[in-house]
Amino acid sequence: GSFGQVRLCWPHSSNDDRKFAVKVVDTKGAVYAHASSFISARQEASILKTVRHPHIVELVDVFEKERWLFLIMECVPGGELFAALSDPKVPVSEGCIASVGRQLLQALRHLHERSIVHRDVKAENILLLTNPAKTSRWHIKLIDFGLATRVEQQPVCLFQLCREQEVPIEQLICGTAYYCAPEVWTNDYNPKVDVWAAGVVLYVLLTGDSPLQEGEIKFFSDPGSAEKAQDVLAKALALNGNELDTACSKAVNLLRQLLVIDATKRVTAEQAIKHDFFDMEMSDRQLPRLSADPTQAIKRKTSFSSLSRRS
């Protein structure tokens, strides 16, 4: 998780074979000492208590002991989404990708209807409920609400916070920058930052790469480089050669509605769910096998790649 370690746990009773994931948070730790303006683990628990959705991880219980906060959540044993994509034993169809995209947007719609922004939608935060090798239709769960917040709360500007607290920005972002909508960097954003991130996830699902290349993020974080950012995005969404063979025209059209620099012109999760691409959920057309986990390619390209990802 963003601000804690996650471990497997189970009930003491020998008659209860259920397993759970427990996030263990040190509330006195260094991250909390410097990131007091960020959402606390207690607020993460508060938010999870208000949401119940088949594609959002369920919070089972929460309690504190001394300096430790424990969040008990359902166990999602199917593993990370992108691990399945690079597994040669797992068939991946166009319909499967459409199903995953729809489920993610449904989860985001549920959050946004409740004025909640996840703020950390990325490949690593999407898990599969069951073994992907045993079913052609995957059931996803959106996890890690460590950065989630309510819209009515004052947003946190990452750069300003890090300057004030003298904390390196990579300590808080940890490779997530490739999923950040342009408005995140200027502290002027709303639930559509999640829609942008969902677009990045779908782009990687379809092409095996990030829409932004090394060194291009700076154009999206600098308002003075808006024209250059637009050129970069247009090139990414042109999709040619092998990428066109992978991404169907309906998928490309959806990406062009999700990955829009001007947030006022970007679709909402509710609008995106109605896109024609999701009519292809029954398509059995196989997608090319990815040679490696695309999230690793993204991590290698990010300027924060020298840091190990925190659990």
Give the catalytic positions in this structure.
120
Q: Is the dihedral of CA 191, 196, 197, 203 positive or negative?
A: positive
